[in-house]
Amino acid sequence: MYLPLAILASFAFLYSILAGRLEKTPISGPVVFITFGLLLGPLGAGWLQLDVTGTELRVLADLVLALVLFSDAASVNKVVLKSGLSLPLRMLLIGLPGVIAVGFLAAWLMFDSLTLWEMAILATMLSATDAALGKTVVTSKAVPANIRMALNVESGLNDGLCVPVLFLFIALATADAGSHDTSALAVQLVVTEIGIGLFVGLSITALGVWFIFHAWRRGWITDLWGQLPVTMLALTCFAVAQSLHGSGYIAAFVGGLLFGYIARRRAHELVLDTEGTGETLGMLTWILFGSVVIPEVIDHFTWQIFGYAVLSLTVIRMLPVLLSLVGTKESCGKRLFLAWFGPRGLASIVFAVIVLNQDIAGAEQLAVIVSCTVLLSAVIHGITAVPFTLLLNRFDRKER
C-alpha cells in the first residue's frame, strides 16, 4: 500500500538535492521523470502500480499548468515585454492558426479513419506548447531576453486560446448535421472563454494583491502561512475562470502578468514557493505519464502515428512560425530557435483527456497520437535545450 509513496518520496528527495547538477546536463527534468515512470511502472520493474483515472490526471495537470503559467508570467521582464511584444503576437495571431491549419492538412493526408472534425481536433490539441519541457530555454541568460520572453508569452497564452477552438471542433464533431449555427457558436465560445479568462485573472489578482499587501503592512501574515497566498491566488484565478466557463489558462497567465507588474522587483521572490509547488506537482504528473499513460497506449503506436508526431514537432510547427516571423529584424538563427522550441506537454495531455470524455468515435486514436507526440517532444526538446541554447548564444555573440 505504501510502496508507491516510498518510491515517489525517495525519488523526489534524490532529485531535489541533485537538481542543480542535473540541470547542467542535456537531459531535462521531464525526460528524467518519464524515464523513471517507465522503468518502475508496468513496462519495467512493476513497482509503481498506480490506479489513476483520466479525470484525476487532468486535475493534476490543470493544477500544474495554473501554477506554472502564473509564476512564469509574474517573472517576465516587463521592460523587455513592452519593447518586444511583436514576436509573441506574430506567433500567436499568425503562427498558431497556421499550425492548426497545417496540422489539419497533414492529418487529412495520413489518417483515413478520422473524420474532418476529428482531424481539426487533433491539430488543435497539438498546437499548444509547454515551455516547462524546455525550461532551460526560457530561464537561461544565454538566450537573448526577447527570445525567452517570446517563448514564455506564447506558451502562456496559446493553450488558453486553443481551448475555445477545441470546444468548437468538439461541438461540431458531436453535433447532428445542421443542428448548430457554426458562426454563432464560434463567436460565443471565443468571447466566453477568452473574455471571462481575462476578466477573472485581472480582477481576482488585483483584489488578491490588495489583500496581501494590506495584511503584510499590518503584520498579519506569518512566516509559516506566508508561503501560501500567491499559490492560492494562482489556483483561485484558474478555478474561478473554469467554473464560469472561461479559460483558466488565460486567467492564470494574465493574473501572473498583473501580479508581476505590481510586485515589480519582488515578483520572483514572491512566486518562488508557487513555482516550487508547480515543479513538484509537474514531476508527479510526468511520472504518472510514464508509468500509467504510456503503458496503456504504447501497443497502439504505429509508424503512421510516429510519422505524424515527427511532422507535428517539425514541419507542422516550424513552417507557420517561420512564416509569421517574416519581416522581423531577428536573425535566421533566432527565428529557427523560436520555431523549433514549441514542445508539446501538459496542455495537450489535458486536451486529450477532455476529448476522451466526449462522444467522439476516434477519441482513443486521437489520445494515442497525442501521447506519442508528447513523449517524443519530451525527449527531443529536452535533449536539445542545452546544446541549442549554447549554439544560439555563440551565434548571437558573433552577430554583435
User: Using 50, 70 and 90 to split pLDDT, how confident is the model at 11?
Assistant: very high
Q: 93-107, 135-149, 299-313: which has the minimum mean pLDDT? A: 135-149
3-class secondary structure per residue, the chain: CCHHHHHHHHHHHHHHHHHHHHCCCCCCHHHHHHHHHHHHCCCCCCCCCCCCCHHHHHHHHHHHHHHHHHHHHHCCCHHHHHHCCHHHHHHHHHHHHHHHHHHHHHHHHHCCCCCHHHHHHHHHHCCCCCHHHHHHHHHCCCCCHHHHHHHHHHHHHHHHHHHHHHHHHHHHHHCCCCCCCHHHHHHHHHHHHHHHHHHHHHHHHHHHHHHHHHHHHCCCCCCCHHHCHHHHHHHHHHHHHHHCCCCHHHHHHHHHHHHHHHHHHHHHHHCHHHHHHHHHHHHHHHHHHHHHHHHHHHHHCCHHHHHHHHHHHCHHHHHHHHHHCCCCCCCHHHHHHHHHCCCCCHHHHHHHHHHHCCCCCCHHHHHHHHHHHHHHHHHHHHHHHHHHHHHHHHHHHHHC
Q: Which residue has the cell 475562470?
A: 241
Place of cell 525527449: 379
Closest CA to 189 of 162, 215, 149: 162
Contact criterion met (CB below 8 Å) for 395 and 333: yes
What average pLDDT score do residues 279-296 get? Answer: 93
More confident residue, 176 or 43: 43
Contact 88, 73 (CB under 8 A): no
Q: Is the pLDDT of residue 331 over 70?
A: yes
CA distance linking residue 115 with residue 176, whole number of Å? 14
Evaluate if residue 269 carries a pLDDT over 90: no
Q: Measured between alpha carbons, how far is 278 from 268 in angstroms, rounded to an integer? A: 14
Residue 264 backbone class (left: φ over 0; alpha: ψ -120 to 50; beta: rest): left
Most confident residue range from 49-53, 148-152, 252-256, 315-319: 315-319
Which one, of 167, 345, 181, lies nearest residue 242 by Cα?
Answer: 167
- Between 332-340 and 315-324, two packed helices, what is the crossing angle to 10 degrees? 140
Question: Is the pLDDT at 49 greater than 50, yes or no?
Answer: yes
| Whole-number pLDDT of residue 224 | 85
Q: Which domain holds residue 290?
A: 3-399
What pLDDT, in 10s, does the model give residues 147-183? 988 998 898 888 888 888 898 888 888 875 444 465 5
pLDDT for the residue numbered 142: 82
Residue 287 has pLDDT above 80, yes or no: yes
Cα diameter, the chain: 65
pLDDT number for residue 124: 96
CA dist., res. 308 & res. 314, Å (int): 10
Q: For position 242, what pLDDT does the model report?
A: 93
Looking up cell 495537450, which residue turns up? 348
Q: Distance between CA 23 and CA 136 in Å, rounded?
A: 8
| Residue 175 CA neighbour count, 13 Å, CB half | 14
pLDDT tens track for 358-381: 889 999 999 999 999 999 999 999
Of the two residues 83 and 353, the one the predictor is more confident about is 353
Q: Give me the mean pLDDT over the 12-34 stretch.
A: 87
Q: Is residue 129 within 8 Å of 158, Cβ to Cβ?
A: yes
Which has the closest alpha carbon to 50: 278, 290, 280? 290
Indicate the average pLDDT of the chain.
89
The domain tally of the chain equals 1
Residue in the block written with cell 537573448: 144
User: What per-residue confidence (pLDDT) applies to 178?
Assistant: 46
CATH number of the structural domain spanning residue 92: 1.20.1530.20
Contacts of 128 (CB under 8 A, 6+ apart): 155, 158, 159, 162, 344, 347, 348, 351
Mind listing the pLDDT tens digit for each residue in 219-255? Answer: 998 888 888 999 999 999 999 999 998 989 999 999 9
Q: pTM score, two decimals?
A: 0.88
In the prediction, which pLDDT does 52 show?
Answer: 87
* Rg value, the chain, Cα: 21
Share of the chain above pLDDT 90, in %: 55
Q: What pLDDT does residue 183 have? A: 54
Q: Which of 84, 68, 159 is nearest to 342 (CA)?
A: 159
Per-residue pLDDT at 228: 93
